[in-house]
Structure 1
């Protein structure tokens, strides 16, 4: 029995991880059992896994076509970890403001090996956001790409009380000089000692509703999540041929898939270039990845640029980050191979990864079973548990649920109950087989004339109109109001959208504030709508009379 499983039986992915943990314990001269497995840290697992297959490909940088082996990565990461240790870095904080290239990967592993706690930052963060992060985290080291230097320097000048070591990591020779004199001998290297509940890294929340908080990721939680991306795979190790990772370092998906791919010996395809639909189409055509994930909005922008033949290499595609309509799922399904597993996954930063991924037999618009390392319940507005074939907010509990936000106890107490239940803020329907399906984001709801309006419910109806690419619904003094992005060349009228909404939804959910056509909407880098910015956009559009 896998040590993290609390309901049902372990899957093949969990049993494989058990075999890795057992091998690590035996190497340490410890007899394996469930209790001992529960004390193997993420850093130990990553070091062991990289050492096992030194000549295999760790990553391909699609921006430069460079190929990096496990050994090449590990030697530099070990030297850098030794440098950070010699500088007294254990337990201190580091900033990482970088795109997806090999020096970033070296630093990413090195800080974990040395017990330095990185705060992983969105590369396009503004000076205002960077200043907020610096004051929050107070880092001793700042690793950044040279293109972000002006913003980084301006932000550090706004925090004169902080004196971090600034390291422009992608500048030629900088890391080499920084680690000069430290050996790259892997055999004698050991990772920094840590307990399972120690922080591994800090990740910002998505920022869709305001300035991000710093979420504390632990060894225990991240180790429990290692098998989850491969829960319905059967071949181990190397459950898939090539994992394409498009998200940058600050997203939970980056950590989840980078660590899981390392432990399960799956090469990674990333790019140091800015991720656009055009660039990703080139990556797919050239490297033929077999497994990836998209936000629904990004998938919609990619589809016109790729053919079925170009997508023929995919075995698994997971949609993540925001609600997806059945129409969007079917549009992608039509271009993917008939044997590909297309699914609507669900996870959060607060659970350090996935909560559910649909099995191959699940209905198309379903999120599948809640993973067996989590307890779960569906509750009403008073927190009372509901039964099967009912809808309510999803609460989960288990070792992967975070233990706190950095310097923000109040926010944590609003999110997690005293007895450990994480309130997702999302409403799900649980069917007769205990599969869950997303219904609506509870936290985005607003009232009009005393009735609750769920924006995503209205958005799904708008997006069901042929020719609509994306929409957002916001509150206004006049009632619900929408901004709509059309597909290129589409001829969709306001009347057509109003008719679709009015014929489907109750009176209080209709677009009494009007709607406006816009060329694009503001998103986070993973495709989530920035709803605060969307609301500000709608206010401007209403003032200029563009909503009707």
Structure 2
């Protein structure tokens, strides 16, 4: 029995991971058993896996056509890890704000090996967002791409009491100089000691407060998730030929697929260029990936640019990030090979990866069974458990559920019960076979183009404009949309508000759905916005053309 399984039987991917854990324990002179397996850390697993196949391709950078082997990656990562250790970096925090290139990969593995805790940042973050992150995390070292230098410099100047080392990691020779003098000998290298519940990294996630939080990712949770992408595969190692990763480092999908691909010996296809449908079409045509994932919106923009022949290498495509319609699924399935597994996956940062992926026999618009390393239940608004063939909010519990948000105990208590149940905020229907199907998002937050949008974060920026009394932000088909109440006599235009939002927030948080000026907004007796009524108001404003 695999040590992570709490319901049913282990699948082939979990049994393969058990074999890897056993081999690591035997190297250490420890007799393997389920209890000992549960103490092998992510850094130990990654180091062992990379060492096993030194000449295998680790990644292809489609932006430059460079090919990097496991050994090439590992030598530089080992030298950098030794440098960070010599600096006393273990247990301290680092920032990473980078695109997907080999230096990023070197740093990503090096900080994990050295026990440095990286906070992985969206490359296009604004100065406003970066300043918030810097104050939250207080990193001792910052790795960033040169194109983001101005934003990073401005953000650090806004926080002058922070003492941090800034490293433009993609600038030629910078990393080489930084690691100079540290050996790249792999055989003698040891990863930093850590416990299974120690933080490995921090990932940003938005919450009901509107300000991004830092989710604490641990060894125990990340290791439990390693087999999940390959749960319906049978060939190990290398269950698929080539994994295409399009998300950047701040996304759970990047972390999960990068680590899982490394352990299961799957070459990774990434690009240092900005991801556009045109570039991805080129990547698919040239490098023939077999496994990938898209947001529904990105898939829709990609389809007109590719032929069935170009997509013929794909064996598995997972749609993630936002709800998908049956029509969208059908349109994509029509262009994919008949043997391809197209599925609507479901996961969260708070579970450090997937909660469910549909099996091949699942209905088209279905999210599948909850994975066997998680307990789950469907509950009503009072938290009472419901049965099969009913609708309710999904709660899950298990080793992959996060143990906290960095410096935010209150937010964690709102999200996870005292008994350890993570309240997903999403309503599902559970059928007679216990497969889940997404119904609606219960939380205030919504996604646009696969990116998380926290209405209160945008509302805070709108209300910072002189003359604005109040605002509410809702989802629309075109993106975030706002209704704004002005103070009496205020001379505020749409352009003024758009300028404030655009200069402060990332592209996906901007008011693509438009904005409307209204005399008032609906409130509860305690003064809180009635968001359901606000959403109805926004629908009417959009319908009548007042929101533009």
Shared fold, TM over 0.5: yes
Q: Compare 296-305 and 461-470 and name the one that shifted more.
A: 461-470
Rate the CA distance shift 1:488–1:155 in 2: closer, same or farther, 3 A.
Answer: closer
**Partner residue in 1 for 2:411:** 411
Secondary structure of the equivalent of 1:186?
coil
Q: Structure 1 residue 525: deviation in Å?
A: 37
2: CA distance, partners of 1:112 / 1:423? 29
| Deviation >4 Å, runs of 4+ | 206-209, 445-473, 475-548
TM-score in terms of structure 2 length: 0.84
Q: Structure 1 residue 458: deviation in Å?
A: 22
2: CA distance, partners of 1:120 / 1:105? 12
Rate the CA distance shift 1:458–1:107 in 2: closer, same or farther, 3 A.
Answer: closer
Rate the CA distance shift 1:223–1:526 in 2: closer, same or farther, 3 A.
Answer: farther
TM-score in terms of structure 1 length: 0.84
1: CA distance, partners of 2:523 / 2:391? 28
Q: Structure 1 residue 474: deviation in Å?
A: 3.5
Secondary structure of the equivalent of 1:443?
coil
Q: Structure 1 residue 210: deviation in Å?
A: 2.8
Q: Structure 1 residue 231: deviation in Å?
A: 0.3
Q: CA RMSD in A?
A: 10.1
Rate the CA distance shift 1:240–1:82 in 2: closer, same or farther, 3 A.
Answer: same
Query: Number of residue pairs matched?
Result: 548
Q: Structure 1 residue 541: deviation in Å?
A: 7.7
Q: Conserved in 1, the CA contact under 8 Å of 2:206 and 2:454?
A: no
Question: Is residue 257 of structure 1 aligned with residue 253 of structure 2?
Answer: no
Q: Structure 1 residue 97: deviation in Å?
A: 0.4
1: CA distance, partners of 2:112 / 2:292? 25
Q: Conserved in 1, the CA contact under 8 Å of 2:469 and 2:487?
A: yes
Question: What do the CA deviations read for 1:246-277 (whole angstroms, capped 9, x no partner)?
Answer: 00000000000000000000000000000011
Question: What do the CA deviations read for 1:313-371 (whole angstroms, capped 9, x no partner)?
Answer: 00000000100000000000000000000000000000000000000000000000000
Q: Conserved in 1, the CA contact under 8 Å of 2:129 and 2:505?
A: no
Question: Is residue 533 of structure 1 aligned with residue 533 of structure 2?
Answer: yes
**Partner residue in 2 for 1:51:** 51
2: CA distance, partners of 1:404 / 1:468? 35
Q: Conserved in 2, the CA contact under 8 Å of 1:209 and 1:530?
A: no
Question: What do the CA deviations read for 1:287-329 (whole angstroms, capped 9, x no partner)?
Answer: 0100000000000010011010000000000000100000000
Q: Compare 534-543 and 203-212 and name the one that shifted more.
A: 534-543
Rate the CA distance shift 1:335–1:28 in 2: closer, same or farther, 3 A.
Answer: same
Secondary structure of the equivalent of 1:354?
strand
Rate the CA distance shift 1:527–1:111 in 2: closer, same or farther, 3 A.
Answer: farther
Question: What do the CA deviations read for 1:47-79 (whole angstroms, capped 9, x no partner)?
Answer: 000000000000000000000000000000000
1: CA distance, partners of 2:300 / 2:244? 18
Q: How does 1:113-132 map to 2 (within 5 A)?
A: 113-132=113-132
Q: Structure 1 residue 444: deviation in Å?
A: 3.4
Q: Conserved in 2, the CA contact under 8 Å of 1:241 and 1:289?
A: yes
Gaps of 5+ in 2: none
Secondary structure of the equivalent of 1:214?
strand
Q: Conserved in 1, the CA contact under 8 Å of 2:375 and 2:398?
A: yes
Q: Structure 1 residue 209: deviation in Å?
A: 7.9
Rate the CA distance shift 1:470–1:104 in 2: closer, same or farther, 3 A.
Answer: farther
Q: Conserved in 2, the CA contact under 8 Å of 1:242 and 1:268?
A: yes
Rate the CA distance shift 1:541–1:38 in 2: closer, same or farther, 3 A.
Answer: same
Q: Conserved in 1, the CA contact under 8 Å of 2:426 and 2:441?
A: yes
**Partner residue in 2 for 1:278:** 278
Q: How does 1:193-272 map to 2 (within 5 A)?
A: 193-205=193-205, 210-272=210-272
Secondary structure of the equivalent of 1:78?
helix
Rate the CA distance shift 1:501–1:231 in 2: closer, same or farther, 3 A.
Answer: farther
Q: Conserved in 1, the CA contact under 8 Å of 2:356 and 2:370?
A: yes
Secondary structure of the equivalent of 1:427?
strand
**Partner residue in 2 for 1:461:** 461
Q: Conserved in 2, the CA contact under 8 Å of 1:321 and 1:527?
A: no
Secondary structure of the equivalent of 1:269?
strand
Rate the CA distance shift 1:24–1:302 in 2: closer, same or farther, 3 A.
Answer: same
Secondary structure of the equivalent of 2:443?
helix
Rate the CA distance shift 1:75–1:469 in 2: closer, same or farther, 3 A.
Answer: farther
Secondary structure of the equivalent of 1:130?
helix
2: CA distance, partners of 1:71 / 1:316? 28
Secondary structure of the equivalent of 1:444?
coil
2: CA distance, partners of 1:451 / 1:346? 14
Question: What do the CA deviations read for 1:222-253 (whole angstroms, capped 9, x no partner)?
Answer: 00000000000111000000000000000000
Rate the CA distance shift 1:523–1:99 in 2: closer, same or farther, 3 A.
Answer: farther
Rate the CA distance shift 1:498–1:20 in 2: closer, same or farther, 3 A.
Answer: closer
Rate the CA distance shift 1:279–1:476 in 2: closer, same or farther, 3 A.
Answer: closer
Rate the CA distance shift 1:455–1:94 in 2: closer, same or farther, 3 A.
Answer: closer
1: CA distance, partners of 2:276 / 2:45? 33
Q: Conserved in 2, the CA contact under 8 Å of 1:138 and 1:162?
A: yes
Q: Compare 113-122 and 490-499 and name the one that shifted more.
A: 490-499
Q: Compare 484-493 and 118-127 and name the one that shifted more.
A: 484-493
Rate the CA distance shift 1:222–1:343 in 2: closer, same or farther, 3 A.
Answer: same
2: CA distance, partners of 1:525 / 1:339? 56
Rate the CA distance shift 1:142–1:359 in 2: closer, same or farther, 3 A.
Answer: same
2: CA distance, partners of 1:488 / 1:291? 56
Secondary structure of the equivalent of 1:72?
helix
Rate the CA distance shift 1:497–1:68 in 2: closer, same or farther, 3 A.
Answer: closer
